[in-house]
Amino acid sequence: MYAERASRLTGAVLWTDTATGSGARPVLPDGCMDLMWSEGRLLVAGPDTRPYLPQGPGRSWAGIRFFPGTAPALLGVPAHELRDRRVELADLWSAARARRLRDRIEAAPDPVTALEDIALDRAARTAAPDPLLHRLVECLDEGRPVSATAAELGIGARTLHRRCLAAFGYGPKTLARVLRLQRALALARSGTPYAETAIRAGYADQPHLARDVRELAGMPLGELLGGG
């Protein structure tokens, strides 16, 4: 059973996914990165460009999902190095440092709160998130074109692409597609008809929505919602 709640870390979400025997749910691209805990393992989930099926059925997980573009500064690694990957934190940090965090989580009564505390500690020791990247996410999530957004932000196309790779793991056009997918899923899950969902989310038409969902989620929209 999956559950989430807002974190004390701005823009972040705390979540738990407890094994129920009903099968693992695919994790869909959302523009985010996560710090995750399961049975003594501390991992980082990089930004996805395709659906990810969690390994190890029957496992329970706790995690913190960072606001898009904020995790690389907290973790000290560019997002594109972790694209479509799940990596042990000990492979990114020193083994001793990762072990101290594992011990801290294991000793805590609630793993997800311990993860949140770790993230808050990191945030207090790093520079504040880049407001330009935050504004980029806002603009693209509103459905604005990448070129118009870049012009509004006063940043060149090459510079924007380079900064997006480091912050999000991919370029701004892919980020825009991922955010549009999430808008569409939210609308469809609320009961909005697919044709209306397509227009409101920013697709040309319903077939465009169907193609994008299949490419990014790996299955038709109806199957995706029926399995969700």
Whichever domain contains 172, its CATH number is 1.10.10.60
86 and 195 part of one domain: no
Last residue in a domain, options 101, 124, 147: 124
Q: Which amino acid is at 25?
A: R
Q: Are 194 and 221 in contact (CB under 8 A)?
A: yes
* Mean pLDDT score of the chain: 94
92 and 171 part of one domain: no
Name the band, by pLDDT with cuts 50, 70 and 90, for residue 114: very high
Q: Are 90 and 57 in contact (CB under 8 A)?
A: no
The answer, yes or no, to whether residue 53 has pLDDT greater than 80, is yes
| Lowest mean pLDDT segment, chosen from 10-24, 84-98, 191-205 | 10-24
| pLDDT reported for residue 139 | 97
Say which residue, 122 or 19, is predicted with more confidence: 122
Average pLDDT (22-47) is 91
Alpha-carbon distance 200 to 170, whole Å?
24
Q: At CB < 8 A and 24+ separation, what contacts does 100-109 make?
A: 101/42, 102/40, 102/42, 105/37, 105/42, 106/40
Name the band, by pLDDT with cuts 50, 70 and 90, for residue 226: confident
142 and 119 part of one domain: no
Give the whole-number percent of the chain exceeding pLDDT 70: 95
Q: What is the dihedral of CA 135, 136, 140, 146, to 10 degrees?
A: 140
**pLDDT tens digits, one per residue of 145-163:** 999 999 999 999 999 999 9
Model pTM score: 0.94
76 and 181 part of one domain: no
| pLDDT reported for residue 25 | 75
160 and 211 part of one domain: yes
**pLDDT tens digits, one per residue of 172-202:** 999 999 999 999 999 999 999 999 999 999 9
Average pLDDT (65-91) is 97
